Amino acid sequence: MKRLLSLLVGFAIGAAAGYALMTLFSPVSGDELRSNMREHYEASLKAGREAAAKRRAELEKELADLRAGNTGEPV
Protein backbone atom coordinates (compact mmCIF):
# COMPACT_ATOMS: atom_id res chain seq x y z
CA MET A 1 0.00 0.00 0.00
CA LYS A 2 2.87 2.32 0.84
CA ARG A 3 4.45 1.75 -2.58
CA LEU A 4 1.18 2.57 -4.35
CA LEU A 5 0.82 5.78 -2.36
CA SER A 6 4.42 6.74 -3.20
CA LEU A 7 3.73 6.05 -6.87
CA LEU A 8 0.59 8.20 -6.86
CA VAL A 9 2.33 11.05 -5.03
CA GLY A 10 5.23 10.89 -7.48
CA PHE A 11 2.84 10.91 -10.42
CA ALA A 12 0.97 13.92 -9.02
CA ILE A 13 4.18 15.85 -8.41
CA GLY A 14 5.44 15.01 -11.90
CA ALA A 15 2.16 16.08 -13.50
CA ALA A 16 2.16 19.36 -11.57
CA ALA A 17 5.78 20.06 -12.52
CA GLY A 18 5.08 19.22 -16.16
CA TYR A 19 2.06 21.51 -16.21
CA ALA A 20 4.03 24.34 -14.61
CA LEU A 21 6.89 23.99 -17.10
CA MET A 22 4.47 23.77 -20.01
CA THR A 23 2.73 27.00 -19.02
CA LEU A 24 6.00 28.82 -18.32
CA PHE A 25 7.74 27.89 -21.56
CA SER A 26 4.75 27.77 -23.91
CA PRO A 27 5.11 29.97 -27.01
CA VAL A 28 1.46 31.09 -26.75
CA SER A 29 -0.38 33.16 -24.16
CA GLY A 30 -2.19 31.56 -21.25
CA ASP A 31 -5.66 32.22 -22.67
CA GLU A 32 -4.69 30.82 -26.05
CA LEU A 33 -3.06 27.78 -24.43
CA ARG A 34 -6.18 27.05 -22.37
CA SER A 35 -8.31 27.48 -25.47
CA ASN A 36 -6.11 25.06 -27.42
CA MET A 37 -6.20 22.53 -24.61
CA ARG A 38 -9.99 22.82 -24.33
CA GLU A 39 -10.39 22.32 -28.09
CA HIS A 40 -8.12 19.27 -28.01
CA TYR A 41 -10.04 17.85 -25.04
CA GLU A 42 -13.40 18.37 -26.76
CA ALA A 43 -12.13 16.84 -30.02
CA SER A 44 -10.85 13.81 -28.08
CA LEU A 45 -14.19 13.41 -26.34
CA LYS A 46 -16.04 13.65 -29.66
CA ALA A 47 -13.76 11.04 -31.26
CA GLY A 48 -14.21 8.74 -28.28
CA ARG A 49 -17.98 9.07 -28.35
CA GLU A 50 -18.08 8.39 -32.09
CA ALA A 51 -15.88 5.30 -31.69
CA ALA A 52 -18.04 4.07 -28.82
CA ALA A 53 -21.24 4.59 -30.83
CA LYS A 54 -19.77 2.74 -33.82
CA ARG A 55 -18.64 -0.17 -31.64
CA ARG A 56 -22.00 -0.26 -29.87
CA ALA A 57 -23.80 -0.50 -33.23
CA GLU A 58 -21.49 -3.35 -34.28
CA LEU A 59 -22.11 -5.23 -31.03
CA GLU A 60 -25.87 -4.69 -31.20
CA LYS A 61 -25.92 -6.07 -34.76
CA GLU A 62 -23.85 -9.05 -33.66
CA LEU A 63 -26.21 -9.67 -30.73
CA ALA A 64 -29.25 -9.45 -33.00
CA ASP A 65 -27.64 -11.93 -35.40
CA LEU A 66 -26.88 -14.33 -32.56
CA ARG A 67 -30.42 -14.10 -31.24
CA ALA A 68 -31.75 -14.79 -34.73
CA GLY A 69 -29.50 -17.83 -35.02
CA ASN A 70 -27.21 -16.32 -37.64
CA THR A 71 -23.65 -16.84 -36.52
CA GLY A 72 -22.15 -15.41 -39.66
CA GLU A 73 -20.00 -18.50 -40.13
CA PRO A 74 -20.07 -20.30 -43.49
CA VAL A 75 -21.91 -23.58 -43.45
What's the 3-state SS for the chain?
CHHHHHHHHHHHHHHHHHHHHHHHHCCCCHHHHHHHHHHHHHHHHHHHHHHHHHHHHHHHHHHHHHHHCCCCCCC
| The pLDDT of residue 71 is above 70 | no
Residue bearing the bigger pLDDT, 3 or 71? 3
| The pLDDT of residue 6 is above 70 | yes
Q: What is the pLDDT of residue 75?
A: 47
Q: What is the mean pLDDT of the chain?
A: 89
Percent of the chain with pLDDT over 90: 59
Average pLDDT over residues 40-45: 96
